[in-house]
Amino acid sequence: MGERLGGFIYGTIVALAVVVAGARAYPQGAGHIAALVAATSVAFWLAHVYSHALAHSVANDQHLSFGEVQRIARREGSIIEAALPPFAALLLGAFGVISTQAAVWVAFALGLAVLAAQGLTLARVERLGPLGTLAVVAGNVSLGVLLVGLKLIVSH
């Protein structure tokens, strides 16, 4: 569960960073931003599958079976799953259901909500009390906001 949750957190932060950067680069194109989120998420997923498969092969000194690669791909699939809520919001903008600006804000809010939910999940698994839960959720959301803010600073 820990690796899956870590992939979900990582995937959410990647999606949020792409949403923010895409919104600045393509302010009129929710569809373009959605495509960037999808392509980036898939690229990061493929990189993770490759690196984990390579590490598994080297660590165990064996050839990888197709089944093992599938298992790794499923485990790392949380990176793509994390991008789905922001992607769905951007699609609403792309199809004209909501404005591009609203789609970007909804995508960003959904990404933060996913980070909060992931913090709640971790706190539940770790059986943390109310203060511990608040700390984990706040830390998760703060990390996401911090990394997206750094992305904005670096891209200027």
- pLDDT tens for each residue of 123-151: 999 999 999 999 999 998 888 888 777 87
What is the Cα–Cα distance from 67 to 114, expressed in whole angstroms? 30
User: What are 81's two structure tokens?
Assistant: 């799953």
For residue 1, what pLDDT is reported? 54
Main-chain phi, psi angles of 86, to 5 degrees: -60, -40
User: What is the extent of the structural domain holding 81?
Assistant: 2-154
Chain mean pLDDT for the chain: 85
- pLDDT of 131: 95
Q: Is 60 exposed, middle or buried (0-12, 13-18, 19+ CB in 10 A)?
A: exposed
The pLDDT value recorded for residue 156 is 61
The two structure tokens encoding residue 146: 């911090």
CA proximity to 19, closest of 6, 9, 30, 8: 30
Domain count, the chain: 1
User: Which of the residue ranges 5-9, 58-62, 87-91 has the most confident prediction, judged by mean pLDDT?
Assistant: 87-91
What pTM value is reported for the model?
Answer: 0.82
- DSSP symbol at 97: S
17, pLDDT greater than 80? no
